Amino acid sequence: MALRITNSTVFRAQEIVLAYPKLSAWDAVHIALMEAERVNRILAFDCGFDAYPGIHRVPAVGE
């Protein structure tokens, strides 16, 4: 399933990155897409996701 980055996704990502400046713009886009799709878990090495409430990062193997 492919997810589309829409204008609303970009605007939500902007809100997220302004509220959580330690997140990268791409992390904010991922979170905005996750919120839109009601996904709350992500498999990632990037511990920046740990700071965002409601998102549970599943640590990658070897981390």
- The mean pLDDT of the chain is 92
| 25-45 confidence digits (pLDDT tens) | 999 999 999 999 999 999 988
Question: What is the pTM assigned to this prediction?
Answer: 0.86
Contacts of 12 (CB under 8 A, 6+ apart): 32, 35, 36
Taking the alpha carbons of 36, 9, 20, 61 in that order, is the dihedral positive or negative? positive
